[in-house]
Structure 1
Amino acid sequence: MKLRELNIAKLPKPKNTHEFLSSEKYSLEIGAGVGLHAIRFAQENPDFTHIAIERTTNKALKMKGRSESHKLSNLIVHQDDAINWVAHNCPDSSLDKVFLLYPNPNPKNKAARWIHMPFFATLVAKMKPGASLVLATNMDFYQSEFLENYQTFEIELKSKKTIHKNNLSEDYRPLTHFEKKYLARSENCYHLEFIKTGAL
């Protein structure tokens, strides 16, 4: 797959900034919605600073309100364009975890899918060696496309799972509201985890 280069200088500056500290552990969630996964992750991983980015104003405000009600000092909510925010704010090799949970599959626009966007190489560059990237989708073509093209980047496949309501453990909790809906409709949900390669 031929990579297109992202011209960061042409991207608008984001509204919000964040100072990254080398001593901290950072996780990033793009398209965090109203924060079901973001809040749970922050609660269960107090050693992480979890940065949740949501473009939609109403969803971001709701997530921020829920975060404040839970008093989560390690959850940072930004209403912004994730590509602009990450490209301008995240230093290279700064992220320990990345979550792409049920992104828009853009079935009619291949160039708008994560694996084909110039930004994806930039996102991988922002990950530390050994960092994980989790992709969740209910679209078989989307996960298949990731599996066919991920070797173009500095990541390797760690695990892949197919989740269905008939094979769930009793204590399984859906990652997002989308996943809860898809499982209720007896759809397959695909979880892929990748690891950033390179020297630690």
Structure 2
Amino acid sequence: MTDNHDLPDTADLPEAGAESSFPRRAIRSFVMRAGRMTDAQKRGIDLGWPRFGLNLENGLLNLDALFGREAPRTLEIGFGMGQSLLEMAQAAPEQDFIGVEVHRPGVGSLLNGVLTAGIDNLRVFDCDAIEVLNQCIPDASLDRVLLFFPDPWHKKKHNKRRIVQLAFAEQLRSKLKIGGVFHMATDWEAYAEHMLEVMSAAPGYRNLAEDGTYVPRPEERPITKFERRGERLGHGVWDLKFERIE
């Protein structure tokens, strides 16, 4: 879960086409965040990373060799502090999970949880998800891709920074198996509408919602502290599921 809602606004960043001394960079899937590490998070990094951490430099993964078996595979982009991903991995030991997150304390928190739970079906990247998809994930290898509560970039002039765009949908489609599912969730209705519009236009997908809009909250998606807080404040949550059909 990429809970970036409380980040400071980035209105000071140069707009596309603005004069800048910095070279242009491709849209990335995250906003880099620093943070102090707790002792538990440091333990996760120190003890968990050598066993469960993955690096871009290793290139294209052999997932069966990585996990030592054939199994359904799920990739979560932006797992935040990792609690929901940890819960999903614990609840489905017959499946394998890969998480991607750039927030170092979140990576440490998840790895500490993995160590404490004693599970072996989860691996972690601490870099940009777009680069992970480009360099490390084999085509047609994933059964699910999860994107829970990504940064909504709610100001109109920043909408182009949203990760859910047609090019991203096409990139994900190549990584999903036929029948694989891209599952999104957001608490911003305008972003939900944007996701629905983009994914409905993306070739090779089918909306799994009966009415062609949003699905009820799936039982396999854990309710996070962030979501419970939103519920108390009267916020809605929208889930979307799109299946790769070709």
Q: Is the CA contact 1:111–1:117 (under 8 Å) kept in the aligned structure 2?
A: no
Q: Which amino acid in structure 2 is aligned with residue 179 of structure 1? A: E
Q: How does 1:93-172 map to 2 (within 5 A)?
A: 93-108=140-155, 109-116=158-165, 118-151=167-200, 152-159=202-209, 160-161=214-215
Cα distance in structure 2, aligned partners of 1:173 and 1:130: 19
Q: Whose strand fraction is larger, Structure 1's or Structure 2's?
A: 1
- Is 1:19 paired with 2:62? yes
What percent of counterpart residues are identical? 26
SS at 2:164 equivalent: helix
Q: Is the CA contact 1:99–1:133 (under 8 Å) kept in the aligned structure 2?
A: yes
Q: How many residues align?
A: 180
Query: Structure 2-normalised TM-score?
Result: 0.66
How far apart are 1:16 and its partner, in Å? 5.9
SS at 1:121 equivalent: helix
Q: Deviations over 1:156-178 (max 9, x none)?
A: 11122466xxxxxxx99853332
Structure 1 unaligned segments of length 5 or more: list them.
1-5, 7-12, 164-170
Equivalent residue number for residue 3 of structure 2: none
How far apart are 1:65 and its partner, in Å? 0.7
Q: Deviations over 1:3-60 (max 9, x none)?
A: xxx9xxxxxx825654223933210001101111111111111121100111111111
Q: Is the CA contact 1:26–1:49 (under 8 Å) kept in the aligned structure 2?
A: yes
Structure 2 unaligned segments of length 5 or more: list them.
1-25, 27-54
Q: Is the CA contact 1:105–1:139 (under 8 Å) kept in the aligned structure 2?
A: yes
Q: Is the CA contact 1:15–1:80 (under 8 Å) kept in the aligned structure 2?
A: no
Q: Structure 1 residues 181, 50: CA separation in 2 closer, same or farther (over 3 Å shift)?
A: same
Equivalent residue number for residue 236 of structure 2: 188
Q: Is the CA contact 1:34–1:59 (under 8 Å) kept in the aligned structure 2?
A: yes
Q: Is the CA contact 1:132–1:195 (under 8 Å) kept in the aligned structure 2?
A: yes
Q: Is the CA contact 2:88–2:220 (under 8 Å) kept in the aligned structure 1?
A: no
Q: Is the CA contact 2:88–2:222 (under 8 Å) kept in the aligned structure 1?
A: no
SS at 2:124 equivalent: strand
